[in-house]
Structures are given as structure tokens and as C-alpha cells.
Amino acid sequence: MARRSKSTSGQQATYGDQEIPCGHGGETHQTAEDGYVVLTTQHGIPVADDQNSLKQGARGPTLIEDAHFREKIFHFDHERIPERVVHARGYGAHGFFETYKSLSKITRADIFQREGEQTPVFVRFSTVAGSKGSFDLARDVRGFAVKFYTQEGNWDLVGNNIPVFFIQDAIKFPDVIHSVKPEPDKAFPQAQSAHDNFWDFISLTPEAMHMIMWVMSDRALPRSFRFMQGFGVHTFRLVNAKGESNFVKFIWKPKLGMQSVVWNEAVKINGADPDFHRRDLWNTIQSGNYPEWELCLQVFDQAFADSFDFDVLDPTKLIPEELLPAEPVGRLVLNRMPENFFAETEQVAFMTQNVPPGIEFSNDPLLQGRNFSYLDTQLKRLGGPNFAQLPINAPKCPFHHFQQDGHMAFQNPRGRANYEPNSWGPDVGGPRESTEHGFQTFPQEAEGPKVRQRPESFSDHYSQARQFFISQSLVEQRHIGDALVFELSKCEFPAIRERMVAHLLNVDNDLAQTVADGLGMKSLPAAATPAQEPRTDLPPSDLLSILKNPPPSFAGRKVGVLITDGTDAQLLADLQAAIEAEGATFELIAPTIGGATLSDGTLQPAHHKIDGGPSVLFDAVALLPSDEGILGLLKLPPARDFASDAYAHYKFIGFTEPAMKLFAKVGLPDDLDDGFIAVAAGTDAGRFVEACRALRFWDRPDGA
């Protein structure tokens, strides 16, 4: 282990056997009250507050003069080259957004003015923590970023599949990401939060407790991009042509409903197909089964904001839909994959500050910081100031400006004028500002001293965390407990585990006890002292649960069908017809990729060899071996895993009588539960598909 000592009188420090310049240029280190050296900027200026950005009043806008925040976020944005620091592993698709009806009463945004109008979009989904080469099924937040190419410029709605965030102030963003990334000395773990640095930071950051409930829930393990919600996270403003303003939160809801995987399943999917989400989106769009979402708005005025139990500017809070319904205003359809992954998905540049007239920002300090940060990010990643000229980033409406030259400029102002005002006339003088058509900022008043502090209205860190937990089904609550035990078990330092359990006592006593028992703690620590006493009277919000909101059908899902030589040809045809009638798909698995000779003598090619098509890749499975074929399957370990994993992951299992021998071989109960559906040629195929609409048979006691 490297030795590290602190110099107190010179300008050298020892790290291992190497002398390096000391981090402070004076004769002695300044020492804080707790014995640590004083934090400074890169230029040696001591920092008084590293927890809050500088704002005009506690709830006011972030000030551009905050040099410490500027330096901190600037350096963070430039840490990686060339991949993104966060959201590096992404996948995107083209499509359109169709407006349901005019929203001119609440916004002048051009995209919402005309019923039925379709606006081109590009959407990028991503994980947050992993590198470009990591796997798809990490337990992680998913990015859900949409670029609308509107007639009045590009609108980037840069959100996640979770409606809240870990932190309240953007100055802490480098810290939370540093903590979850691979530890800097080890360079691992990759795309995982189950390590000391992350939980050390979280256990010292009470404001993260609501987000932690979401990240430890099934929301962090989506089955597909097509089955997850998206959120704008922040509170924005809508402004109409009269200058009247309302607040708004943006929510994307998938037409196919929500669905996730269980942890054991995710681990095995990553081994079988680390590109699982990418492949799913590609295959779905290429087959013409275009995924859709509805854009829903929660619109509210200042009076509602003032009456709400929590501050609408706090990005760690949400507004339950039972309290404020989310109204659908349009649909998003993805119908075309990029022609080149790098040119489009990798080079697309999203920036929260890209909003058209009629959509504006609130004083959410995390949003304010993001607006400040994203331009730096794109400059570093894409090499210069002209990244907006790349086709994937360029607006599809007319645009005119005097910006010129720079790295890789391939569009420059034409003619004599490259400045304004000028006197050359409209033909050659170039563009001019327009008070009528231009972006007019809502004139919100701001007052108060320049301060680095959080408003008191941001200080309740546990109430909504509790509300989210009690809103989940018992199955989902168990998954949250299991996830916390697994993650905290990877922490080497007991103090970190104890601090987290102390926080959980402010969320739910039973959850805290479950985690403590799972960690082998002999006694519970004292509950963490809250900045504000948490409320226990918030009612459950069923719309926060995945399992309480099942999909309307089995459409969009996939069945894995295991066949052998002698499989009943008519049964297979019946099953295929029933699956396709439901709007689902199926893939065939056989002992060899060459397939199997069916009962009618036809050779049926397979999509997968048995060890390349495990049951974790499918939403339900059917085992249709013949009497002769089952004898070969019994000798194949992947066939045994196919059956045992399907059972352990609560999947519906269609089967023919010979498959019973395989079930016995892997030790499944003799008395099969209702998640097993015996099938034969005739009407049984429809009965199997009907059962699959429930997606999982959660009553199975011995599952994952």
C-alpha cells in the first residue's frame, strides 16, 4: 500500500516513493478545525462552502460569478476523452413526436401549437455509471434524452427513467459521479455501485435517500428501453404568448407498460448478452414494431407550488400523480435506427439549455448548474465550438447567426457582414434580433443576499423516500431490501453499513431491520438525526409501483420455445399463431443451431443453440420436447439451466409431458404451480399466452 505523508512546512509531499509538488503553495498548509487541510481552488484560493453553489437568495438562480463551481464543473466536464464522463454507454434511434392537441393556452412553444403535427426527434437511452464497453443490465439509472427538431429550434429534454436525483445542488454532481465510478486507485468496479466509495458518499448525503429507494428498486433494472418511463426530473416553466407562466414536469409513459428483471436474471443476461438492451431496440425497430411513449405533463401554478408539501425546486422530490394527474399531450414513436452509430448516437450533443420560446427554466439549482455545464462537455467531447454543425445536432429549421471559424467549421456567414449592428441592408446585412419572435425570458423577480446555502424547504430528506417504499408491492419491497443487502455487503467498512441502516430507520423500520439482519448486524444503530423530522402521514402512491400497474397485454414481449427432433409440428404452429396474434414474438432454441426435424418431417431452423439462448433472454418460455428428444436434453447442462432459471425468475412456462423429466432432473417441485401451463395441439396455446399477460408468476416461493 502506498505511503502518504503530509508536509507542514515545505512544498513537497510524499506519495509512495515519489515526491510531488504539494497542493498548497504557501510555507505551511492551512488546517481546518477538524484537522484536514483546507480545500482550495486549483489556484490556491480557500473554499468556504463546497456543498452549495452561489445563488441570489436561498431559492434564487445560480450566479455565474461562482468561480469555485465554475472551476469544479469545468474540470469535471473535461475529465474524459473521448467518451462521455457519464451516460457513456448509450443507444439511440430516430422517430417523431405527434402533438395530440394545441396547448397554446399554456405555452407559445411551436411544437405544441398544431394538432396532429409531427416533429422529428432523436432519442438516446443510456446507463450512467459504466463506460462505453460496459454491459446493458447494470443496476443503474437510465438516461432518457430526447432532441426535438422543432420549427423554432432544437429542444433537448435531457432526462432519466427516475423522476428524482441524488443531489439538490449541481456543485455536488462531480462528487456523486466520482463516488460511483471505478475507484481511482483500483479502476474497478465497472458499472456497479456496490462498493465503499459510493456508499460512503451516500451515507454522508441524506438528501440522496429518496433516489436510493428508486435505484435499489426494480426501476434500475428495466427489461427493455421500451418498457421504462422517462422523466424531465426538474420543474420547468411554460409561458404562453401573453407572457403568462405555469410550472410543468415532463413524464414519458411507455405504451407497452413497465417491466423489469430480477437481479439474478440481470447478472445472467449480462453474461449471455451484454448488448441485451441494444439488441432489443434494434430488432424491434427493424421488425416494424415501433416502440411508443406518451408525453404527459403535470402543469401547475404558483398557488399549487406554494401549497405543495415540498419545494417544487428540489430535484430530490416529485409530485405524486394522485395529487396532480399527468395529462397526455402527444406521442413519441421511434421508427428508424441510425445509419452510423458513431456519426449519430455518439456525436449527438444534448444540452438542457436548448429550449425553444415558450419553455423556460425554474430556479432548481441542479437544473441551473446543468445549463451551465453542458456546453463545456460538448466542447471537450466533440473538439471545438462547431459541434452544432454536425448533422445529428443541426436544427432542421432555418437558422442564421454571425458565429464563424473555429475548429472544423463547415458553415460560415456568407457575404460581407459578420457583425451587427451594420448598415448594409437586409439583402446583405445578415440577421437581426426580433422582439416579436425571439426568446423572451419570463421576468421572474429575484431578491436576497448572495449566499451559499440550501433553503429550509429542501431539508426533508426522508418523507418521500418512505412514501416511495410503502407505495411498492410486497414483492418490490423485498427486492429493495435484497438490493440494499447485496450492495452494502460489498462495503468493507462496517461504519458505512451502519450509517446507511441509520438512515433507513428514518424511512421504514421494517426495511432497516431487514437490511441489518441481512448484513449480520447484532443490533440496530441509532437513527440518523434528520435535518427535518420526516413525515409518516404521506399516503402510498400506487402509480409509483411497476407491479401495481401491469401492462395491457403481452404485446411487445418475447417467448423462447425449446424444441427437439420430433416436436409436435401442429402444436408449434398453434403456439406461433397465438403469440403473433398477441403482438408478441418468439424465438426457437434447439440442441444445435441447425434446428430440429418436427413430427411432420419438416426441418425447423433454430434462432439459438441451447447454450446461446438461455431462458433469461425471454419473457416466458415453452418447452416442447418429444419423448425421444427429452433424452438428449437431460444430458445438456444448458437445458437444465433453461428450466431451472425460468422457474427461479418467476416466468410462465408452457410444457409438453416429456418436459416433466427435465423438471424432475433439476429438482422442481412434483406439484407444479399455476405458472406451469401444459400445452397440446388445439386450444392450449391460447391459454398459455393468456397466462403470460401477467408477465411473472410471483406466487412461486422458491424463486430468485
Is the pLDDT score of 35 beyond 80? no
How far is residue 121 CA from its own chain's centroid?
19
Which amino acid belongs to residue 357?
P
Q: How many CA atoms lie within 13 A of 123 on its CB side?
A: 27
The predicted structure's pLDDT at residue 10: 37
Q: Which domains does the chain carry?
A: 71-191+220-389 (2.40.180.10), 558-692 (3.40.50.880)
pLDDT in tens, 235-285: 999 999 999 999 999 999 999 999 999 999 999 999 999 999 999 999 999
Task: Over range 32-47, report the average pLDDT.
Answer: 75
CA–CA dist 266, 270 (Å, integer): 6
Is the pLDDT score of 78 beyond 90? no
Q: In terms of C-beta density within 10 A (0-12 exposed, 13-18 middle, 19 or more buried), how is residue 186 classed?
A: exposed
Q: In terms of C-beta density within 10 A (0-12 exposed, 13-18 middle, 19 or more buried), how is residue 51 classed?
A: middle
The predicted structure's pLDDT at residue 80: 66
The predicted structure's pLDDT at residue 385: 87
**Nearest to residue 212, comparing CAs of 524, 534, 532, 504?**
504
The predicted structure's pLDDT at residue 288: 97
pLDDT in tens, 331-341: 999 999 999 99
Q: Which helix (H) or strand (E) holds 266?
A: helix 263-272
Active site residue 87: yes
Residues 6+ apart with CB under 8 A from 595: 563, 588, 603, 604, 605, 606
Q: How confident is the model at residue 704 (pLDDT cuts 50, 70, 90)?
A: very low
The predicted structure's pLDDT at residue 503: 98
Grid cell locating 260: 423489469
The predicted structure's pLDDT at residue 407: 85
Q: Residue 196: count other Cβ atoms within 10 Å of its Cβ.
A: 17
The predicted structure's pLDDT at residue 400: 87
- % residues pLDDT > 90 (the chain): 80
Q: 24-33, 382-391, 545-554: which has the minimum mean pLDDT? A: 24-33
Contact 672, 663 (CB under 8 A): yes
- The 3-class secondary structure across 117-183, one letter per residue, is CEEEEEEEEEECCCCCCCCCCCCCCEEEEEEEEEECEEEEEEEECCCCCCCCCHHHHHHHHHHHCCC
CA–CA dist 704, 261 (Å, integer): 11
Is the pLDDT score of 28 beyond 60? no
Q: How confident is the model at residue 43 (pLDDT cuts 50, 70, 90)?
A: confident
Q: Residue 657: count other Cβ atoms within 10 Å of its Cβ.
A: 12
The predicted structure's pLDDT at residue 29: 57
Contact 329, 175 (CB under 8 A): no
Contact 613, 607 (CB under 8 A): yes
Is the pLDDT score of 703 beyond 70? no
pLDDT in tens, 570-608: 999 999 999 999 999 999 999 999 999 999 999 999 999
Estimate the crossing angle of helix 263-272 against helix 474-489, to 10 degrees: 60
Is the pLDDT score of 20 beyond 60? no
CA–CA dist 435, 451 (Å, integer): 34
The predicted structure's pLDDT at residue 570: 97
Bigger pLDDT: 43 vs 465: 465
Residue 62 DSSP SS3: strand
Mean pLDDT of the chain: 92
Task: From the candidates 29, 68, 87, 503, give the one annotated as an active-site residue.
Answer: 87
Task: Over range 302-308, report the average pLDDT.
Answer: 98
pLDDT in tens, 93-139: 999 999 999 999 999 999 999 999 999 999 999 999 999 999 999 99
pLDDT in tens, 167-198: 999 999 999 999 999 999 999 999 999 999 99
The predicted structure's pLDDT at residue 495: 98
Task: From the candidates 160, 246, 354, 363, give the one annotated as an active-site residue.
Answer: 160
Task: Over range 483-509, report the average pLDDT.
Answer: 98
The predicted structure's pLDDT at residue 31: 67
* Alpha carbon separation from 367 to 8, 305, 459, 524 (Å, rounded): 40, 17, 18, 37
Q: Which residue has the cell 429493495?
A: 480
Which amino acid belongs to residue 7?
S
Residue 332 DSSP SS3: strand
Q: How confident is the model at residue 9 (pLDDT cuts 50, 70, 90)?
A: very low
The predicted structure's pLDDT at residue 22: 39
The predicted structure's pLDDT at residue 21: 39
Report the C-alpha dihedral over residues 195, 201, 203, 205, rounded to 10 degrees. -150
Is the pLDDT score of 16 beyond 60? no
